[in-house]
Chain A
């Protein structure tokens, strides 16, 4: 059964390679919370539509759609910074 041997050799190697490859961590719920905190500092002066956008982002993060939530929060932050 050479293929079984090959599988035994390949699987740990693949797992090791996955571990060795650096991972992006800016799509985590923690980062979602960090962005939410950043927007909160600007929220008082931010226009309504940006506050709505940020709320939508928070909502998506809470629902587990972290990447979409982060994207909305980033847009809200960028627009708010531009308005400052």
Chain B
């Protein structure tokens, strides 16, 4: 029997392929011959006949070797016409594109770095903003069917003014409405019951809620159990603590259930832990206040007395009913109730019940502010994309020759476009990665700058939605930046591109680039104007006279155990004042029943006066300690304290309120008369004070403290330079000299002003950054396009010079042409700013958003920046050597 393997091997000698491959071919072919040979034998042929017939399979001599050699040495080549196999192998095509784009970007590494950083900036800003506003603006609240949850409130008809509380009888009525899910009306109290663990300095703040609160929200505790009706009825003290409190203060202890907390001075058992994303229930009134959990309110609606006042209840409506129908139902029942009220409240007739979606209550008041930031961030991205589009356009134009060669070799337009898009995508994704890394790196530093409205509900960078947004933003901006250059590339004129090289008199203008520059300038104007407005607002704010001297001033609060006798109470608090005066480092101290400089509202100015004008009871030394300016007359002496009903001091606005037009000096000595009160002599006029820069001062009347009219006193102390007051010293001294205080605290007054400024500072910083970034990007874009055009028009410049143009003429020519689109853009931008300014107005302090001076200034800044950016290429144009330029022809 023939050895086919040996025969095949001898015939294939000299094939020059990998030995393993050669062995495989040998085996396969030998098997074929073997099969054929065996078949012929089975068909009745003799060995000799079968061998001869099988040998005939070799065909013509050498053919197999030739064919095999051709196949085995075949190199898998990329087809000349790029994209020819696109439909057949998408992944391979893309891999090729990515490789190609990577190589070309490595070659142009400075361009790549600049473009990636621009993307990083534009996308990073937007990702940061998105992660901060996602939960407040876009994401559904973390409750079951959150759209069905509403907050019920009593509003003044036709306005948005509402009261914190409402009658329990109204809440009880709402339970019987058919549109409300059974048992889904939950009540809250606010302010919370605050408490401190014995021996602990930090307070735990719990919101008192009705037992069915989690049922209304449609959530389960993260750990432990929910409150029950039985517990509420049995008046058990129970708490559901927040996830943060559990993780932080209790170090995530697994045995937390059953531990005891102190709430309102009573032991309270922890029955569960709330889910991590539960928005504190105290946030019904203000989502920016923190709550450490919920405490069970023993008052169920069944046991509530109809006359009691409840905080705004939360209710869940059935999916099929509209809130308007339920609202109408409640109002008709409430109308009925009002008629049966024994003593109608003043103004009650004007009050209506409204159901407001939970999201609106939580974040509605912040929405316009948040949208403003979102819009500003989006504009930065638009500028970044426009900038990149112009850079890519310049790059595309300089690579037209290469593109033309590819088209000549058979590449389709779509193939060329795909290459450009892949390049743009690669840049944007690298940029996004840089942006995200920068955000992770800087997140701690950013937290300090960001006001609570952003930081409290900010999602981390690794959140799926944030990553999804980043990918979306990267893709969109890559397409936005890449589309124009792509279209230009698709229209490349092969013949003309192959015939010319850069600088040889081909039309030097960059089509599309100028429109981009105009767009960039327009958006930059809006952002720069926004920056200037916020800066002016901040300067206006911090330079506002607050009417007193906050530096070195402290608020001192001491609460003593309650005493029934007013005289004893007065004496005790006056002793505390002495203690404060004797504290180490205190220079001066004074006291008042309520502090106007803390933003608290006082008692009514006088009989017949409504809200907005107040009367404050102060001790001697109060004005001197706070640093309030005395405008006329004198301040209270200790003798005045002995006759509190007979003297008073007016603030400037207070003077204007009672005697409009009267000079302060003329008011001193006059008698102030209120019905039902003894006449009071005005002994002085002091400056108006504000508790924050943006607050409008209240018309005020200051009177000496009267023992009968105070429940406690609040103190102010001015420290000696460099001294800091000690709260433990305060507590010990009060304990030694009077009684153990129920609470004692010291707060530095300027902190109140800086925390009030946080929002303004952040806004200013944000808009200034946006403005500067936009300005820089616009300048870079202009410079790039200008440089490119100058390079492309070298021949023209040379020709002009040889015909007698001076370098100055050429500079002027380049700058004039560069400024054309900028002027158009600035004009459009100013119109847009004028229109958009009304959205910014409510966030600004004493800034006229339609001030023409501001607009002129913004226009000048833009034009000056553009001139500078155009001047650099213009200088290069002016240095053109006509001989060298013309020789290139």
Determine if chain A interacts with chain B. Answer: no
B-to-A contact residues, CB < 8 Å = none
A-to-B contact residues, CB < 8 Å = none
